[in-house]
Structure 1
Amino acid sequence: MKPVELTDSNFNDEIASGLTLVDFWAPWCGPCRIIAPVIEELAGQYEGRVKIGKVNVDENPVTQGQYRVMSIPTLILFRDGQPVEGVVGAQPKRAFETLLDKHLTPADKAAAQPSA
């Protein structure tokens, strides 16, 4: 599964429920390009448990301003529309996994299990 493209118009609807990790990025940002494959991997790895989204800050200044994103990449984890934790700068994949795993509830984990 690929990350969801988030925009000023769909942002609030997309983060409204469950866990959503949002990557604020720009095409000209070198560190953003470095972590892009990691973000794609996380989208597949956490499918059904965490929604992964990307906001191009050049095209979506309202959302960028709302969350006071001054440096990119900035990743913010939301639960039910509310920011719970953020990371600024490129990080190794394990750091993102630790962040996500820390905020997964038993219900989130069960949502990804196939039903019998």
Structure 2
Amino acid sequence: MSVTVTKTGDRSVTITWDASDRFISAITDADTLAYALELLAGGREEPTTPGELAFATGHTAQLARMLQQCAAQQVVRLRDEHGMSWRQIAAEVLYDPDRQSSVRRMYDSGRRNPLI
């Protein structure tokens, strides 16, 4: 794995990654990861102007889109490489075996938009 998370204290971690990984580089170079982590931490350093808030929101939305696409690619792999049924994938990924149509949409998205 190209990312390592090491707990360094009660409420702190150190994250290291392979700088050659294009996705990790893209989200760290643009501070996208930092904005998303701030949001997850409860927004302790809230943006003070509408422009700053919009900027931070854009970075968070960008990361969310990237993660959705990565998840869609993984659904493609679960189906195509591992032969899992739609019901199995829905149960494992969305924690609800009845959400088969949702994982089919993820699959379709993953097939249309490969990460390569």
- TM-score (ref. length: structure 2): 0.22
Structure with the higher fraction of residues in helix conformation: 2
Structure with the higher fraction of residues in strand conformation: 1
Asked which structure has the greater CA Rg, the reply is 2
